[in-house]
Amino acid sequence: MAKGRVVLVVLALLALVTGCFGEPRVGVIGEEHTLLLPFEASKFLGYFQKNGLEVSLDWANGTELISLLNFSKYKAAVVDGTTARKIEEFSKEWVKLCKVAVKTKGGKPIKGKQFFLLIRKELLREPEETVVLVKGWNSGVDALKDPAVVYALTGEEAVRGYRFYSCTP
């Protein structure tokens, strides 16, 4: 009986130790699911897995999103300009990195409806993770030009309502 407990304890410790040394994890939150499509496309095509970064995606809107940013789980966010200003005003932990999307109507950009990639300063201290995340976004933007990728992710022929841009900090 005691031998079984020792084996169980050793296995539990082994699982704990190996779990601590897994791939780095970056949580990303956006104001809606569509805004995270470039990240989702990169995940779908295996970009993050190939580059050793685990990316988790969540979305929420308005005040719920801002309150969720306080969790250390999130190191990046895709938000509109107004929300980006509020976040930067209230917290010195977040930095606006680049413009990543605009809302469109009839294929034309709607003035004042720009979206930005914000990252925590803590992520900036991990340059490899930051580079993989930004290149993953850019890879996803390129992948969404392929209707087959868009269809696989959304069931639609094209992304409607948004135009995505590569992130160039």
Answer yes or no: is 69 within a domain. Answer: yes
pLDDT at 51 over 60: yes
Spell out the long-range contacts of 134-138 with Cβ–Cβ below 8 A and sequence spacing 24 or more.
134/97, 134/98, 134/167, 134/169, 135/47, 135/51, 136/38, 136/39, 136/42, 136/47, 136/48, 136/51, 136/53, 136/55, 137/38, 137/39, 137/42, 137/100, 137/166, 137/167, 138/38, 138/166, 138/167
State the pLDDT confidence band at 2, using cuts at 50, 70 and 90.
low
Answer yes or no: is 91 within a domain. Answer: yes
The whole-model pTM stands at 0.83
pLDDT score recorded for residue 19: 47
Q: How many of the other CB atoms lie within 10 Å of CB of 40?
A: 20
pLDDT score recorded for residue 12: 52
CATH number at residue 109: 3.40.190.10
pLDDT at 111 over 70: yes
Answer yes or no: is 6 within a domain. Answer: no
Number of domains in the chain: 1
State the pLDDT confidence band at 5, using cuts at 50, 70 and 90.
low
Structural domain including 59 reads 23-164
Q: Provide the β-strand partners of residue 41.
A: none
